[in-house]
Amino acid sequence: MHPEGRRKCCQCKEFFIPDPRNRYHQRYCGQPVCRRASKAASQRKWESRPENRDCYRGPEKATKVRAWQAANPGYWKRRRNKQTVLPDVLPAQPTPVERDPVQDEGTVLPEFWHGQPPILIGFIAQMTGCVLPEDIAVVANRFIARGQALMGRTQS
């Protein structure tokens, strides 16, 4: 190790300060090119072990992959919708306070739900423990009703 606590990257040969949690075995810096090289070296090391050589080979693995590919046709062609600007969190829609949010359990997801950022959906799922879209939609409707009720109280 270099006297100042720095280490030379195995890929770009530049000095870097390793993360304190893994300084004893970190050999690559955080540059994207170096991270890819680190991943490739780690993968080669893992695949070189005798017990891992046939991990992804064999007729049962091939059958499993073919079944998945048949169930997911065109999976490599789907594009992800990347948003650079966050959309409006919730559109302003008047909702009666007396409305019971449980009545929406029959719908899978409300129309406005599809445009919401994944962070909002993930936050609701994390805080409530719900993982099904139907359950998350019910909770989101409760949040909307409470928020609109509170807005009505503050404006009066």
pLDDT, tens digit (0-9, with 9 covering 90-100), for 100-150? 444 444 444 555 566 677 777 788 888 887 777 777 778 888 888 888 888
Nearest to 116 by CA among 93, 150, 83: 83
For the entire predicted model, the pTM comes to: 0.40
Domain that holds residue 122: 101-155
Q: Is residue 131 part of a domain?
A: yes
**How many distinct structural domains can be found in the chain?**
2
Q: Is residue 15 part of a domain?
A: yes
Q: Is residue 150 part of a domain?
A: yes
How many Å apart are CA 91 and CA 71, to the nearest integer?
A: 36
pLDDT of residue 151: 81
Q: Is residue 142 part of a domain?
A: yes
Q: Is residue 81 part of a domain?
A: no
Q: Supply the mean pLDDT for the chain.
A: 77
Q: Is residue 92 part of a domain?
A: no
Q: Is residue 136 part of a domain?
A: yes
Q: Is residue 33 part of a domain?
A: yes
Rounded average pLDDT over 2-15: 85
How many Å apart are CA 58 and CA 2, to the nearest integer?
A: 46
